[in-house]
Amino acid sequence: MPRIVFLPHEELCPEGAAIQVEPGISICDAALEHGIEIEHACEKSCACTTCHVYVREGLDSLNEPSEAEEDLLDKAWGLEPDSRLSCQARVGEEDLVVEIPRYTINQVSEQH
């Protein structure tokens, strides 16, 4: 079973986390199931960028991003070559190292 290592994030997982997951689960669902509350304003429907993450290791083992995901990623805050939407990125057979960005673009949060 692959393992996802979440690097420390000041608010969501200050100590970082390492979790075992089943192949095929999305990074977002895996995080949520283990108490890491990644934002997902569109309810994981590939319609926003709030679940944007950096896949620091294991990127090539994930499913290929769809055209819709790539279009949305162009709008993500802090886009990097290893960026993915965690709701769309499905775990393969390899271990992953994931970093949650410090900021997200969330219009709902910004209005309050």
Note the pLDDT tens digit of each residue in 23-35: 999 999 999 999 9
Bridge-based pairing state of the strands 3-6 and 17-20: antiparallel
- Fold of the CATH domain 3-107: Ubiquitin-like (UB roll) (3.10.20)
Under the banding of pLDDT at 50, 70 and 90, the label for residue 105 is low
pTM of the model: 0.91
**Cα-based distances in Å from 18 to 5, 10, 27, 34, 61:** 4, 16, 12, 10, 18
Separation of alpha carbons 70 and 1, rounded Å: 28
pLDDT in tens, 41-74: 999 999 999 999 999 999 999 999 999 999 999 9
Domain map (residue ranges) of the chain: 3-107
